Amino acid sequence: MRLAEINDGISAAREALRGNNVYAVTDSNVARLYSQLFDGVKTTVIPAGESNKNLGTVGKIISDMVEAGCDRSSTVVAVGGGVTGDTAGFAAACFMRGVNWINVPTTLLAMVDSGIGGKTGVDVGGYKNVAGAFLMPERVIVCRDFLQTLPEREWLCGCGEMIKHALLDKDIWRETTAHIDELISRGEAAYPLIEMSVRYKESVVAADFRESGLRKRLNVGHTVGHAAERLDGFRLSHGEYVALGIVAETGMFSERLDGVFLRSVRELCGKVCRHPFPIKDASAITDTARADKKNSGGNIVVMLPTGEGNVDEISLTPDEFEKRLKKCLSDL
């Protein structure tokens, strides 16, 4: 697997867009903020927002590509956050049965997480990422200067997944706990942490491309996090729900965890998400978690970080899950 290229300025992105037979895809915010990047480049601009991550947008990209004279040797260059990368990557996987693509992630979340690993896809009928394909981008070009224009909420969103990576790797944990305030406030120490996070995600993907084993550990915080996100109507950013999910899931198994570790987890997550846990109804969370595509055989799976980068996979009956969650929610 080729590693992501990590740059300071955005000139590597500019050069990629000036490549041979390139077709660009970006969203309306990125197109407005970085309009000069797309001058003279055939581009589809998709409206910003998760609601546009759908098959209609994929169809639009593909028909625009046909009309622009693209062929099997064309390269799709996605410049944007996770929505742009997922949608454009999927369009690249479908266009003439698959063409190359290059990902230029411009949000923190896309740089450290969704933009790495070749998972592409869109939402269908209100279900997230249920239509998709695995297609590794030929290159991932990370340019930290894109982060200068990123709104606070989107920064915190990326921090949620970075905290998750910290739970999965003891070196990242050590550095993150030492520099958490600088990470949150976008200080200089954030950037080595971002690089560690990118490399960590790459190592997990390299070991387990199709999510049969190791990659499952990336679901830490996501069983409860995804359910809360859906039930709460996506009011907060994804990474904030991940932080809330980590607090809830570790709280559900507090008897198995070291007290000092548990307190650090709560402290870190509390810096990423300052909102209280939004859903008090344990039974609604259980029903939503049960419907998650990652569960099988009627049980609900929680990936529990236990310290030092270790993770236990725990499979619970819905009744047991609800009982533990109810108890933990009353303590939050």
CB of 288 to ligand ADP, least distance (A): 20
**What is the C-alpha to C-alpha distance for residues 186 and 291, in angstroms, rounded to an integer?**
37
- What track of x and - describes contact with ligand ADP for positions 61 through 100 (by CB under 6 A)? -------------------xxxxx----------------
Residue from the set 22, 23, 27, 61 that interacts with ligand ADP by CB under 6 A: 27
289 in Cβ contact with 223 (< 8 Å): yes
CB of 111 to ligand ADP, least distance (A): 9
Closest CA to 115 of 160, 81, 159: 81
How far is the CA of 285 from the CAs of 69, 191, 273, 274, 329, in angstroms? 48, 35, 19, 20, 11
Q: Give, rounded to a whole angstrom, the gap between the first and last alpha carbons of the chain.
A: 42
Residue from the set 123, 154, 161, 229 that interacts with ligand ADP by CB under 6 A: 154
Q: Which is nearer to ligand ADP, 82 or 221 (CB)?
A: 82
Return the sign of the alpha-carbon dihedral for residues 54, 59, 64, 65.
positive
220 in Cβ contact with 286 (< 8 Å): no
CB of 157 to ligand ADP, least distance (A): 5
Is residue 120 a contact residue for ligand ADP (CB under 6 A)? no
Closest CA to 102 of 83, 85, 122, 120: 85
Closest CA to 68 of 92, 45, 41, 35: 41
- Side chain identity at residue 100, one-letter code: N
Is residue 250 a contact residue for ligand ADP (CB under 6 A)? no
Count of residues that bind ligand ADP according to CB under 6 A: 21
**What is the C-alpha to C-alpha distance for residues 217 and 319, in angstroms, rounded to an integer?**
23
Which 3 state secondary structure label does DSSP give 143? Answer: strand
Is residue 17 a contact residue for ligand ADP (CB under 6 A)? no
Q: Which is nearer to ligand ADP, 45 or 316 (CB)?
A: 45
Is residue 13 a contact residue for ligand ADP (CB under 6 A)? no
Is residue 143 a contact residue for ligand ADP (CB under 6 A)? no
Is residue 48 a contact residue for ligand ADP (CB under 6 A)? yes
Is residue 228 a contact residue for ligand ADP (CB under 6 A)? no
Closest CA to 273 of 242, 301, 296, 298: 242
CB of 158 to ligand ADP, least distance (A): 7
CB of 55 to ligand ADP, least distance (A): 17
Is residue 107 a contact residue for ligand ADP (CB under 6 A)? yes
Is residue 149 a contact residue for ligand ADP (CB under 6 A)? yes
Q: Which is nearer to ligand ADP, 245 or 251 (CB)?
A: 245
Binding residues (CB under 6 A) for ligand ADP: these are 27, 29-30, 33, 48, 50, 80-84, 106-107, 109-110, 114, 146, 149-150, 154, 157
